[in-house]
Amino acid sequence: MIKYLDDVEEIAAYWIGRHFPRPSIALGNETHEKYCSLCGQTNDEISLCTCASRSFAWSRVIRLGAYEPPLSTCVIRGKYSKWYEVLELIGKRLGNRVRGCVPPNAVVVPVPMPYLRRWLRGINHSAVLAKYVAQSAGLQRRNPLLRKETSPQAGMSASERSRLKVSTIYPFPWVNLRGKPIVLVDDVLTTGRTLEVAAKALHSIGASTITVAVAAVTNYEESPKKVISASFTH
Ligand SMILES: [Zn+2]
């Protein structure tokens, strides 16, 4: 059966001109490595995590896996090659992990993308992920945040990223999330600065707790640029 489907897909890809495999094949099986629930780093000894001295704008991180292939390749193809279906699968799997970990009145919120970048890229990956996280976790979804145009962070060093200004992300003036637990969704957690800035904006409009849900977490020691070029095979 699988062989038959592969053949059909091969023929369809030839005629349509698309060469993406099925998302479930590209993404592989789900991994279940242990990770720190505050910083998201892979860690077997949670009680000994090096993040113990850091303070966080969120109370928990839920992730699918570490930022390494095949997950990293799927995230990159999802956002830069507009591979919607793989983002859908990543969002659904992430939503399954979120389900039951947050109160039923929690609201799913994507990290916002500046309009110009969204238009140039043709896909708002965080919004696509958030849609399917909300759907498979059985939660409502809102887009209460806006983001100013700044240069993209991919390729920046960790210290450049950490300078992202708090004023970059701000809420729509009429939005109120008083007392609502929030599930804040993004594709990759690197330094955590973007999520921190978004979390502050959500707290400013009344969010009670913030759970960060990300597809992948990079090793903080690695340069983001190196990680991306190493896994960008498309
Ligand atoms: Zn940690």
Rounded to the nearest whole angstrom, what is the distance from the C-alpha of residue 193 to the centroid of ligand 1? 15
Q: Are strands 60-66 and 140-141 parallel, antiparallel or unpaired?
A: unpaired
Give residue 67 CA to ligand 1 midpoint distance, Å: 16
Q: Work out the pLDDT band at 232, boundaries 50, 70, 90.
A: very low
Q: How far is the CA of 51 from the centre of ligand 1 (A)?
A: 4
Question: How many residues comprise the chain?
Answer: 234
Rounded to whole angstroms, the Cα distance separating 189 from 199 reads: 13
Domain ranges of the chain: 28-231
Domain 28-231 matching CATH 3.30.460.10: the answer reads no
pLDDT tens-digit profile of 130-163? Answer: 999 999 999 999 999 999 988 777 777 777 777 7
Distance 53 CA to ligand 1 centre (A): 9
Coil, helix or strand at residue 62: strand
Q: Write the pLDDT tens digit of every residue in 76-133.
A: 999 999 999 999 999 999 999 999 999 999 999 999 999 888 888 899 999 999 999 9
Q: Given this model, what pLDDT does residue 161 score?
A: 73
* pLDDT of amino acid 106: 98
Q: How far is the CA of 214 from the centre of ligand 1 (A)?
A: 15
Q: How far is the CA of 217 from the centre of ligand 1 (A)?
A: 11
